[in-house]
Structure 1
Amino acid sequence: MRLNFRTARPLPGLLALCAALSACSGTSSQPELAKSGDTVLGFVRPYRVEVVQGNVLTKELVSRVKPGMSRAQVRDLLGSPLLTDMFHDNRWDYSFAIRRQGAPYQQRRVVAWFDGDQLKSLEVPDDLPSENEFVAAITTFPSGKAPKLELSEEERKALPVPVRPPAPTPEAMGVQRSYPPLEGR
């Protein structure tokens, strides 16, 4: 098959290609996203999977752990460590990382050092957040305010009283049968 360039008319295709390529140079309404590579063609943001790895440790959790606690007690409070090394059995690493769309990437590491079965020390980073600070850091709601999860007492009282269905009558339950006892066989 021979292609005749005189009859193929490449001009409309060439114009469409130029228009598509010129759209790539457009600017985003959110320049910080365009710089970070989170947009395609300057305005489309692809879906990114939320990745959470490790144990979420907060100031409140870590403050409950004290030197002299056993390994089981530390595991009960902080959870199982993400890393345990068979060559360094006196060290547990609690690593945490979260990558969530619309929130900054976070990564922290807490290291527990043991002497035998007793906790010797805990290495805690200076930027370890409290529970409220952690929730605020990963909140991606447009208003910046988390949705309300509980009703107040006034709202509970304003709810309609649930109607209980009537109890079934014995006739509606079907035929009643009596079986002989299993003893004595």
Structure 2
Amino acid sequence: MPSWASLPSVTGDKVLGVLTPYRVEVVQGNVLTKEMVARVKPGMPKAQVRDLLGSPLLTDIFHEARWDYVFTIRRQGAQPQQRLVVAEFDGDRLKALTVPDDLPAENDFVAAINTFKPSGKQPKLELSEAEREALPPPKRSAEAAPTAAAEGPAPGRIYPPLDAKLGSGS
């Protein structure tokens, strides 16, 4: 019997019982969060739904009234995730949006896929009302020019009419 036959083989996620192989990160589809889905309301036109949620991953010419927003992610060190949001239309208007119960908020989604856990607390992203009121008022510069609409055209600038032919030589 050869000596390599007694070595441990690939079992589960381990090679030779010791090494963990690198797995390619696979992200497919549209990341949708509770905040994004909350902005979509029945009666919206298809174009507005596309602006808010992005282009659907799946559209079918035989079922033009249904858009499937599929999202899957497999990332080393994080649990695989898969979600499906379905938009159903009546003509050009959104009739219903089917959302899974486990659709995360934006912060929850980032925390779920973050395999790098920094130490310390998260940075503060917004000022409180008291902090906003404590800020000094913005300074107005003395040379701030008034708007062009208030003054009219700048002196000394004359523009030719738009319908004038260039290079006609007449």
**Paired residues of 1:139 and 1:146 also in contact (CA < 8 A):** no
User: What is the aligned partner in structure 2 of residue 102 from structure 1?
Assistant: 77
Q: TM-score scaled to structure 2, two decimals?
A: 0.66
Length, aligned pairs only: 126
User: What is the aligned partner in structure 1 of residue 54 from structure 2?
Assistant: 79
1:136 counterpart SS class? helix
Structure 2 residue identity aligned to 1:78: L
Once the two structures are aligned, what percentage of the paired residues are identical?
67
**Aligned-residue offset at 1:90:** 0.5
User: What is the aligned partner in structure 1 of residue 65 from structure 2?
Assistant: 90
Runs (4+) off by over 6 Å: 146-152
User: What is the aligned partner in structure 2 of residue 121 from structure 1?
Assistant: 96
Structure 2 residue identity aligned to 1:17: W
Distance 1:73 1:151, change over 3 A: closer
Alignment of 1:152-163 (within 5 A): none
2:118 counterpart SS class? coil
**Aligned-residue offset at 1:43:** 1.3
User: What is the aligned partner in structure 2 of residue 145 from structure 1?
Assistant: 118
1:80 counterpart SS class? coil
Q: Name the CA distance, whole Å, in 2 between partners of 1:132 and 1:51.
A: 21
Q: Name the CA distance, whole Å, in 2 between partners of 1:54 and 1:101.
A: 18
**Aligned-residue offset at 1:147:** 9.1
Distance 1:78 1:146, change over 3 A: farther
2:15 counterpart SS class? coil
**Post-superposition CA distance 1:103-159 (Å, at most 9, x none):** 011000000000000000100000000011101111112xx338999799xxxxxxx
**Post-superposition CA distance 1:70-125 (Å, at most 9, x none):** 00000000000001111111000000000001101100000000000000010000
Select 2:4's aligned residue among 17, 20, 33.
17
User: What is the aligned partner in structure 1 of residue 33 from structure 2?
Assistant: 58
User: What is the aligned partner in structure 2 of residue 179 from structure 1?
Assistant: none
Q: Which consecutive unaligned segments of at least 5 residues does structure 1 have?
A: 1-12, 26-33, 153-182
| Higher CA-based Rg | 1
Q: TM-score scaled to structure 1, two decimals?
A: 0.61
Distance 1:137 1:151, change over 3 A: closer
1:134 counterpart SS class? helix
Distance 1:116 1:40, change over 3 A: same
